[in-house]
Amino acid sequence: MANAMEQELHSYFTRLSDEEKKSFIKLLKNFLAKRKDDTPRPSLEEYTRELELADEEIEKGDFILHEDVIKYFSKK
């Protein structure tokens, strides 16, 4: 059923002008922004520890440069 609704939505969306598409996307963003976000949030201590672990990984050289990610995905 979801697939049929997605196809119908796509069918309508492709008929819109660029300005109408922008308005529709804005409407969807506003609609979704008003939803209650039930995602559990980490505590300040957990968040701080995650940042510390990330800093340790960076100091060890365990990271990928943004430019390298761009190059990788531009080849696909």
pLDDT in tens, 10-42: 999 999 999 999 999 999 998 888 887 777 888
Cα–Cα distance measured from residue 57 to residue 67, given in angstroms and rounded to the nearest whole number: 19
Number of C-beta neighbours around residue 25 at 10 A? 12
Q: Please determine, for residue 59, whether its predicted confidence score (pLDDT) is greater than 90.
A: yes
> Where are the chain's structural domains?
2-33, 44-74
pTM > 0.75: no
Q: What mean pLDDT is reported for the chain?
A: 90
Q: Please determine, for residue 56, whether its predicted confidence score (pLDDT) is greater than 90.
A: yes
Cα–Cα distance measured from residue 27 to residue 58, given in angstroms and rounded to the nearest whole number: 39
**Mean pLDDT, residues 61-72:** 92
φ, ψ (nearest 5 deg) of residue 36: -75, 130
